[in-house]
Structure 1
Amino acid sequence: MDLPPVGLGTMGIDDPDAVATALALGYRHLDTARIYDNEAVVGEGLAAGLAGDAGAAGLAGDAGAAGLAGDASAALDREDVTVATKLWIDDLAADAVAPAARESADRLGVDAIDLLYVHRPRGDYDPEATLPALDRLVDDGLVRNVGVSNFEIDDLDRAVDRLDAPLAAHQTELHPLFYNTELLDHAREHGYPVVAYSPLAGGRVREIDAVVEVADAHGTTPEAVAIAWTTAKDPVVAIPKASSEAHLRANLAAADLELTESEIAAIDAVECEEELFPE
């Protein structure tokens, strides 16, 4: 999939205005999950964004932002936005996949889910049964692309081998305190993007000396550096969560920050074994 460098992670977002504002500012990748219990919120924000309603008083009060919102949303079609959601571990039995996906599509207000993930290879997940059920959803047109999330190499190999549809993406935790280079190598070998969640390490990037030093050198924030470092790793895109207009703008702009090889290497050298969301 050709995903933009920065998308919107929505875990914890309960206001559709945040989603509509993100779309008005230029976000084109929305990520949610059944377990987040906010698919309807994302769907409402998507509908507002497609209707050209920025949905946020902050945009309306800023002439420059209002102009951007109007220009972006006026040209925004449903096909411009990648809407992704995930099936939780109790949705993964062969006979549960289709009903769960239909419920998600209904809550999101879409005819087809652009990217549907297996959230974790746990619970009712059986690659011999779950993956063919996902293939059938692609054949039926309810799902356009199938992805996986929180998989290890063996799980990824089985998914690549068992899916008829190409594996479209792997979503995994990735930030300066935790990432797995083998997962990136696998993605390069098989030609799919890695979608990095929690790229700001739950706010802890402000405590990482190497990140802070690079931020000071560029006159920017540690958050911007963390996103730039993440998206510099081919084939990685990031989905930081944000709800305020200021943070939405800053995260989107961070993809344009260019770090030197030595700056990337300095952050690479940080000990990366602090996983925020372990199995």
Structure 2
Amino acid sequence: MEWLKSVHFYRKVPADLTEATLAGGTISLLSSLAMAYLFVSNFRSFLQIETVTSVRLDESQEKKIQINFNVTLHHLPCRFASVDIADVMGTHLQNVSANISEVGGVGEGCLVKGVVLVNRVPGNFHISAHSKAHSFQPGQLNMTHEIGRMTFGRPLTPAMLRLLPDDVAAAHDVLARTLHVVHTSHVLGRRQIDTYQYTANSNNYQDGGSLPSAVFSYDMSPMQVLVQTERKSLASFLTQLCAIIGGVFTVTGLVDGVVYHGSATLKRKMQLGKIV
């Protein structure tokens, strides 16, 4: 086993051959505090989850997208409320009723909520008044409404919902909203959750030849936002920890050596009378 002793990197020096100084003790205490602070900071950083966002071309193969909505019409009865869909491919559906429910509100109001499935192309869906037994005059219709929810894709937790502002349209006007939709994927470890975010612009105008309505135009961005959550690996944490300990130990050793030799030189010169 003698050969094993010969490769010992950290050979011990007898305590009676070492010298302890007040300056060295102070430096050692400060270095210990510095190492403790850096260790705690590094450990907290290791526990935190880092979010990295990137943009890439959307390669989704989905041909349809789901729109979830909840709109309150304050003055239009449910029997007249109609949900219509149109897009640039020529699709035009009137009075869509599948997966849509209408709940009568206080007075003549109506709550329209549900889900519509649309093509992943620019288009719009709008809520307007329709009736085979009645004729409507633009000045007599009050399409004042309030948006409770408007999301794309499958419903998610409330924290992931992107809500429209609670805009209220003035009576007898057309309130057109343009929604710029971006496919967003959240990667949580090995799990990926696909969502859709959007920005919304509103334009309130009067169209003398058309009935008042609530129009929601949408277009799909060709880009996809990828949101990844990452955590530092254990190997990275241990590497940084060793760097902290080794770095502080080395620097304080150099400082201690400079202080020790400097004070020893100064003391020796004072003893020789070179410094008064």
Query: TM above 0.5, one fold?
Result: no
Please tell me whether Structure 1 or Structure 2 has the larger radius of gyration of its CA atoms. 2
Q: Which has the higher contact order (CA 8 A, sep 6+)?
A: 2
- Richer in strand (by share): 2
| Alignment TM class, shorter chain as reference | under 0.3
Task: Choose between structure 1 and 2: higher helix proportion.
Answer: 1
Superposition TM-score, scaled by structure 2 size: 0.19
